[in-house]
Structure 1
């Protein structure tokens, strides 16, 4: 049994979501990945996500919710592990798509992908992490005036070596190359 298997159950293949640049929210040519993971009853998912992300080079930096306003990270990819509760999140900016997430789900957002929380349960908690070397992430709101600069910065963000859920197999490693 490898270290990853001892930390987390094997998720199904990730659902891929794609969003186009709308002139304010850059988004990415890379797909957003949505993993649905089933954890054993009683698992402390927040701690489990922190351990899983750390092992795969995406250290968790915070536990909280998702901002209720559209934003993106021009200098970092992001992983969001839903530790508890449920929410409706809009991905891709104002012209994007609203999806539902629940405890156990993991979202992997390529740099530039717009996201915001539309509504959530009172107990909604997310564990957020970033690939090693991208922990000093910045938050930007969609803005047509600063758009070209954001796009240029996003183009320079290095691809991660490992997927935050699967490690060396699949996910980011297979779908973002």
Structure 2
């Protein structure tokens, strides 16, 4: 969809992390409405498209990943520099209004954030994922079993996730 500004990064295994060799990390630029209760509005947006289990916080300052679920992060306040995929992986400056969709297995780490940084996180179907720093021998197999969501967390049944993620 031409009207969406999206950065996409396919991150293969490396940096001591399973990452995801088939689904790209997606960074949607400036898509959230930040007026009024931006955090509440972001939670409702994600939930309305089947991404639940919302939480409010920041991003851990160490490499970690979720082998059993994809994750969406809505940046509702502040800014941060985030590295994806472990050592040598791509880095992105994210700011209020941005949304990051992290495929299962892709490592992420906050490299530094403003004091007012606030993230809304959620998962397709809700629930709460595993959080790991050590992939172990079966992480890649667990990541490969995670299904592609049927809705984009921002745009619903259409949108960048639906266009760029294809089922295995």
Q: TM-score, normalised by structure 2?
A: 0.90
Q: Deviations over 1:51-98 (max 9, x none)?
A: 100000001421000000000000000000001000000111112012
Question: Would the aligned equivalents of 1:34 and 1:106 in 2 still touch at CA under 8 Å?
Answer: yes
How far off is 1:125 after superposition?
0.4
Quick check: 2:32–2:99 contact (8 Å CA) kept in 1?
no
The structural deviation recorded for 1:165 is: 0.8
Contact persistence 1:16–1:32 (CA under 8 A): yes
Is structure 2 residue 42 aligned with structure 1 residue 49? yes
Paired with 1:61 and 1:94, the residues of 2 have a C-alpha distance of 28
Output the CA distance in 1 between the equivalents of 2:16 and 2:6: 27
Residue from 81, 89, 113 that aligns with 1:96: 89
Larger mean Cα displacement after TM superposition, 152-161 or 105-114: 152-161
Task: Give the whole-Å Cα distance in 1 for the aligned partners of 2:47 and 2:30.
Answer: 17
2:6 is aligned with 1:17:
no
Which residue of 1 is the match for residue 160 of structure 2? 171
Unaligned runs of 5+ in 1: 1-10
C-alpha deviation, 1:142, in angstroms: 3.8
- Tell me the equivalent position of 1:122: 115
What is the number of residues matched between the two proteins? 163
Contact 2:80 2:117 in 1 (8 A): yes
More deviation in 33-42 or 104-113?
33-42
Shift in Å, 1:43: 3.3
Name the stretch that deviates more: 164-173 or 36-45: 36-45
Structure 2 spans left out of the alignment, 5+ residues? none
Larger Rg: 1
User: Partners in 2 of 1:150 and 1:39 — Cα distance?
Assistant: 32
Deviation at 1:104, TM superposition (A): 0.5
> Is residue 52 of structure 2 the alignment partner of residue 59 of structure 1?
yes
Worse-superposed segment, 75-84 or 52-61: 52-61
Is 1:32 the equivalent of 2:21? no
State the alpha-carbon separation in 2 of the partners of residues 43 and 142 from structure 1.
39
SS of the residue 1:139 aligns to? coil
Corresponding residue to 2:104 among 107, 111, 114: 111
CA distance in 1, matches of 2:38, 2:53: 13
1:74/1:37 CA distance change after superposition, 3 Å: same
